[in-house]
Amino acid sequence: MPDPALINSARDFNRFYTNFLGVLNKAYLNTPFTLTDARVLFEVGSRGRVSAVALAKDLQLDPAYLSRILKRFRSDSLIETKADPTDLRSQVITVTDEGGRQFEELGRRSNAQLAERFQRLSDAEQRHVVSAMNTIRARLDPEVKSAPAIIRAHRPGDIGWIIQSQSKAYTEEYGWDMRFEGLVAEVAGRFLTNFDAAKECCWMAESGGINIGSVLIADGGDGIAKLRLLYVDKAARGLGLGRTLVDECIHFAEAKGYRQISLWTNDILHAARAIYIGRGFRLVSEERHRMFGPEENGQTWVLDI
Amino acid sequence: MPDPALINSARDFNRFYTNFLGVLNKAYLNTPFTLTDARVLFEVGSRGRVSAVALAKDLQLDPAYLSRILKRFRSDSLIETKADPTDLRSQVITVTDEGGRQFEELGRRSNAQLAERFQRLSDAEQRHVVSAMNTIRARLDPEVKSAPAIIRAHRPGDIGWIIQSQSKAYTEEYGWDMRFEGLVAEVAGRFLTNFDAAKECCWMAESGGINIGSVLIADGGDGIAKLRLLYVDKAARGLGLGRTLVDECIHFAEAKGYRQISLWTNDILHAARAIYIGRGFRLVSEERHRMFGPEENGQTWVLDI
DNA sequence: GCAATTGATTGACTGAGTCAATTAAATTCA
DNA sequence: TGAATTTAATTGACTCAGTCAATCAATTGC
């Protein structure tokens, strides 16, 4: 269940944006068109050739209603329709020259309205607003398929993200207390302050500019690489991302001449354990502990390379 | 003239969001109400007592139309109206118990719809979306009444947020390198692992479910309270939040019987320094250092209490 | 104290949007 | 292959959201 405060903010935003869009006025942008007319004309004008079904589906319009709108557009010679040769039931809709002109005029007015509203913002603010819009859309529009995950080196703020995400997730899922967050922060902090680029690395998985996973290799001395803070965000689990991150670590450890990778985990983290087993790690020790509240089974795994 | 590419993205977003809002369906949220009905009921329900003019103005409704809606609401006993004693032409509108119930039901459904859409997102994504909404609104809504900031105790993940935000901000603004993030993480981590609720505390400032600031008091021993990790997010600066957070610390230190508050900062952080000076802190030592890359002037300030 | 303004309501429309039924083409599957 | 089912488009028939002008009553301005 999402945080009610978040939902509330979102509702506030929706109320504001309903107003902002000016959806409620009958005459859209001072044109002879209604909002629905405009949406239809826009869709036809920008896609070139569409069928009525596709239009009805995308714009969520009643087919009967759409049919009437198209009929009117036809009699105003804004569009032309002819039967689709591959399916004679279906009509292919195209804009006429006049329709194209109207479509462009609509675009100009819409642009002008937005430009007027953007004008009072600085350039930086404008970009900020648009990137926020992209953020929202990428998350809420099912059509926009999530951007592919990429693995990259860490940047400022990433370590904080790791701490935040892990502690939040494991608190929620396993009831661990804040000592866990403290441990993660200390481990991550030491990693950063003593960072040795020649022997150590931190990888972040991100998708569409948003972090979704992480792992790091720290030098444990004595030819041992410590694999730490493997984490994959809830929303991105089941895609093999954890495996990819671990493989990244193994390759790195090989390349840097480590003789062994060692890691500490808790057996309750089944997905992670499955990855380690799959990559040939072997369990060398385990102990019951209550470091984070509930009793857990801490385990040390190693992989010789 | 704004960048056409930005305008275009914004238009894309608007088209998407028009759909997303579901403004276009007659039966709003499967209730017997239209969107306009719902907006009216919402406004009346949440404001308590309104006049019809005010309602018409805020919702941009035709008075005739509004009058009819109110008449219907009255005959369905959702609202009651009586003449305003100070202006007998004007009607004061209030919701009845039944109206209140309907108003709440509407709220529940609206929440449920949003919750359902948010559910498929990770917690981080939800926060990201809402903070993007706030960004847009803060820029485009002329009456920015941003949600009031509240100060609360920290929760799991907050410490990670502190580390992430601080390191990101100071890297961008002053070019500090990742050793800063490392230091913050270690400090924060130690605070959590040795946390003593009787002598220590961490406060988070949040607005609309989004973290916007933080500060903490750690026990430095010897009657000295260490004030640490004071931070206010860029978007929330200039509102006196930093001062409020510091005051919170001072009260806490007094209540817990500390004799002195001590803190370490860098003189480049002007806003913070101004707060310390304003609250009577005095500078006791300073030293040039290159702990985070660029040369900075580290300072220790104390306040006797 | 009279003219102009303002809040609320009503009459009289219009046309956006809905629902069910119909036709014709395409698909499914025994 | 052909009967049953599904799908694309249209039409009939209707409703009711939303508009515009006119009216009435209370208030304000000069």
Q: For residues A178 and A171, what is the distance between their CA atoms, to the nearest angstrom?
A: 8
What are the Cα distances from residue A106, in Å, to A43, B124, B301? 12, 38, 61
Q: Which of B231, B218, B205, B197 is nearest to B261 (CA)?
A: B218
Q: Which of B7, B35, B184 faces A118 most closely, judged by CB atoms?
A: B7
Give me the CATH topology for the region B149-304. Aminopeptidase (3.40.630)
Q: Where are the domains of chain B?
A: 4-120, 149-304
DSSP state of A142: S
Length of chain B: 305
Q: pLDDT truncated to tens, each residue of chain A (305 aa)?
A: 677 888 888 888 888 888 788 766 666 777 888 888 999 999 999 888 899 999 988 888 888 999 999 999 999 999 999 888 888 889 899 999 999 999 999 889 888 888 888 887 766 667 778 878 888 888 888 766 666 788 999 988 899 999 999 999 999 899 999 999 999 999 999 999 999 999 999 999 987 667 889 999 999 989 999 999 999 988 788 889 999 999 999 999 999 999 999 999 999 999 999 999 999 999 999 999 999 999 999 999 999 98
- Which residues of chain A are within 8 Å of residue B128 when distances are taken between CB atoms? 135, 139, 210
What are the pLDDT digits (tens) for B4-35?
777 877 888 888 888 788 666 666 777 888 88
Q: For residues A186 and A194, what is the distance between their CA atoms, to the nearest angstrom?
A: 12
Look at A182 and B159 and tell me if their CB atoms are within 8 Å: yes
Provide the CB-side half-sphere exposure for A292 (13 A, CA): 22
Residue B144 pLDDT: 64
Residue A261 pLDDT: 97
Q: Which of B18, B124, B185 faces A23 most closely, judged by CB atoms?
A: B18
Residue B264 pLDDT: 96
Q: Measured between CA atoms, how close is B91 to chain A, in angstroms? A: 25
Look at B122 and A36 and tell me if their CB atoms are within 8 Å: no
Look at A178 and B160 and tell me if their CB atoms are within 8 Å: no
By CA distance, what is B123's nearest residue in A?
A: A2
Look at B9 and A134 and tell me if their CB atoms are within 8 Å: yes
Helix (H/G/I), strand (E/B), else coil: A155:
coil
By CA distance, what is B131's nearest residue in A?
A: A132
Query: Which nucleotide is closest to A26, CA to C1'?
Result: D18
Q: Which of A68, A74, A73, A72 is nearest to A56 (CA)?
A: A68
Look at B181 and A171 and tell me if their CB atoms are within 8 Å: no
CB A200 within 8 A of CB A219: yes
Q: B52 CA to D22 C1', in Å?
A: 20
Residues 6+ apart with CB under 8 A from A252: A201, A217, A225
Look at A192 and B185 and tell me if their CB atoms are within 8 Å: yes
Quick one: average pLDDT of B168-174?
90
CB B24 within 8 A of CB A62: no
Q: Is the dihedral of CA B234, B263, A196, A282 positive or negative?
A: negative
> What CATH number has the domain spanning A4-140?
1.10.10.10
Q: For residues A298 and A268, what is the distance between their CA atoms, to the nearest angstrom?
A: 9
Q: A72 CA to C15 C1', in Å?
A: 13
DSSP state of B221: S
CB B227 within 8 A of CB B261: yes
The token duo for A96 is: 């006429």
Residue A147 pLDDT: 65
Q: For residues A62 and B242, what is the distance between their CA atoms, to the nearest angstrom?
A: 54
List the single best residue of A35, A168, A191, A201 to mutate versus B (max B Cβ within 10 A): A168
Give chain C positions with protein CB within 7 A.
6-12, 16-21, 24-27
pLDDT exceeds cutoff 60 at B87: yes
Helix (H/G/I), strand (E/B), else coil: B282:
strand
Q: Which amino acid is at B56?
A: A
- Which residues of chain B are within 8 Å of residue A172 when distances are taken between CB atoms? 156
The token duo for B64 is: 């005739």
Residue at the smallest CA–C1' distance to nucleotide D15? B26
CB A268 within 8 A of CB A296: yes
* β-strand pairing of A224-232 with A260-266: parallel
- Which residues of chain A are within 8 Å of residue B62 when distances are taken between CB atoms? none
Q: Which amino acid is at A117?
A: R
Would you tell me which residues have their CB within 7 A of strand D?
A: A 24-26, 51-53, 56, 63-64, 66-68, 70-71, 81, 84, 87, 89-91; B 26, 34-36, 61-62, 64-65, 68, 86-89
Give me the CATH topology for the region B4-120. Arc Repressor Mutant, subunit A (1.10.10)
What are the pLDDT digits (tens) for B230-275?
999 887 888 889 999 999 999 999 999 999 999 999 999 999 999 9
Q: For residues A232 and A241, what is the distance between their CA atoms, to the nearest angstrom?
A: 7
